[in-house]
């Protein structure tokens, strides 16, 4: 396995009988010379994950420090140790999960070239570390992931873009997925929020954090909104007072007209 600063690698080696014999001979020799030193070395360099290719005598492992022969292919996939590795039934795909990563890395190779592996996709597969991966033996391009968030998810690779440098993967089913996340959501024109609700949405990126909350017209509970409401109520009171004055003036005019009519009646009697 490479240095931690450079990222760990996925290595594929040829699993033949000669390599196994050499490894056994070396292990016996080292055990006789220095058993304690060998035990410590193996504890530090043992692979965290491995998988056999279903169509050929090849083995994928997450560590190359304890190997007796050079791997035929290496892929730098992440900055932490591969926790699980799984070949697809066709042998053209490898899915890897990592100990401290929530993603699944997908690698693909053309059927006519067993050594031409390439990294094609990063699947955001879980909220916590992915602990297990298994391919569907019946449905092509479908695999299942299990993770520390106690969820099982079923994924399917889209066949339409297998020839591209990257591929698309869809989530088609999941169990125990009961987490609400507002990451990536944008809520515009929201009204009726209190201060705490607004701050929660802002912290999670659901609303624009650059907006001035106190001056946002969409929040009727803000200070500016309250002042605006007070001004509107004051204007309404002024209008009501003006209406009252007009009615009083009209009443005075009617009273004057009544007095004039009364005077006219008195003159007629005389």
**How buried is residue 106: exposed, middle or buried, by Cβ count under 10 Å (0-12/13-18/19+)?**
buried
In degrees rounded to 5, what are phi and psi of residue 132? -155, 150
The pLDDT of residue 240 is above 60: yes
CATH code of 4-175, in short, is 2.130.10.10
- Mean pLDDT (whole number) for 192-221: 62
State residue 20's pLDDT score: 46
CA dist., res. 247 & res. 121, Å (int) = 79
Q: 181 or 134, which is more confident?
A: 134
CA dist., res. 112 & res. 128, Å (int) = 36
**Residue carrying structure tokens 């929020």:** 193
- Mean pLDDT (whole number) for 154-181: 73
pLDDT per residue as tens digits for the range 92-131: 899 988 877 778 888 888 766 666 778 888 888 677 778 8
State residue 135's pLDDT score: 94
- Please give the share of the chain, as a percent, with pLDDT higher than 70: 47
The pLDDT of residue 158 is above 60: yes
Distances in Å between the alpha carbon of 50 and those of 10, 138, 196, 202? 9, 23, 49, 44
pLDDT per residue as tens digits for the range 241-256: 666 677 777 777 777 7
Q: 231 or 38, which is more confident?
A: 231
State residue 162's pLDDT score: 62
Q: Using the CB atoms, write b or e for 170-205: b if 16+ within 10 Å.
A: eeeeeeeeeeeeeeeeeeeeeeebeeeebeebeeee
The pLDDT of residue 146 is above 80: yes
Q: Using the CB atoms, write b or e for 17-33: b if 16+ within 10 Å.
A: eebeeeeeeeeeeeeee
- Mean pLDDT (whole number) for 186-209: 70
The pLDDT of residue 34 is above 60: no
Report the C-alpha dihedral over residues 23, 27, 28, 29, rounded to 10 degrees. Answer: 100
CA dist., res. 123 & res. 146, Å (int) = 13
Could you state, in order of their start, the residue ranges of all structural domains in the chain? 4-175, 195-269
CA 143 from chain centre, in angstroms, equals 19
């Amino acid at each position: 396995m490479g240095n931690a600063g450079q990222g760990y690698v996925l290595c594929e080696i040829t699993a033949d009988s000669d390599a196994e014999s050499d490894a056994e001979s070396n292990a016996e020799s080292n055990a006789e010379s220095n058993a304690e030193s060998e035990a410590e070395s193996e504890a530090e360099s043992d692979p965290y994950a491995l998988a056999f290719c279903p169509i050929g005598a090849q083995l994928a492992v997450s560590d190359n420090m304890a190997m007796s022969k050079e791997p035929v292919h290496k892929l730098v996939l992440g900055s932490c140790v591969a926790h699980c590795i799984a070949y697809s039934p066709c042998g053209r795909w490898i899915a890897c999960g990592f100990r401290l990563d929530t993603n699944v890395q997908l690698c693909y190779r053309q059927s006519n070239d067993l050594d031409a592996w390439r990294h094609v996709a990063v699947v955001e597969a879980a909220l916590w570390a992915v602990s297990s991966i298994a391919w569907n033996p019946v449905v092509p391009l479908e695999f299942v992931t299990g993770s520390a968030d106690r969820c099982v998810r079923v994924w399917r690779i889209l066949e339409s873009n297998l020839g591209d440098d990257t591929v698309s993967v869809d989530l088609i089913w999941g169990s125990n997925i009961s987490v609400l996340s507002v990451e990536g959501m944008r809520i515009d024109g929201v009204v009726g929020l209190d201060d705490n609700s607004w701050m929660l949405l802002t912290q999670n990126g659901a609303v624009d954090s650059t907006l001035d909350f106190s001056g946002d017209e969409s929040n009727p509970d803000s200070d500016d909104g309250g002042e605006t409401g007070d001004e509107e109520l004051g204007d309404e009171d002024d209008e009501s007072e003006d209406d009252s004055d007009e009615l009083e003036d009209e009443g005075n005019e009617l009273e004057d007209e009544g007095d004039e009519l009364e005077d006219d009646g008195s003159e007629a009697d005389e």
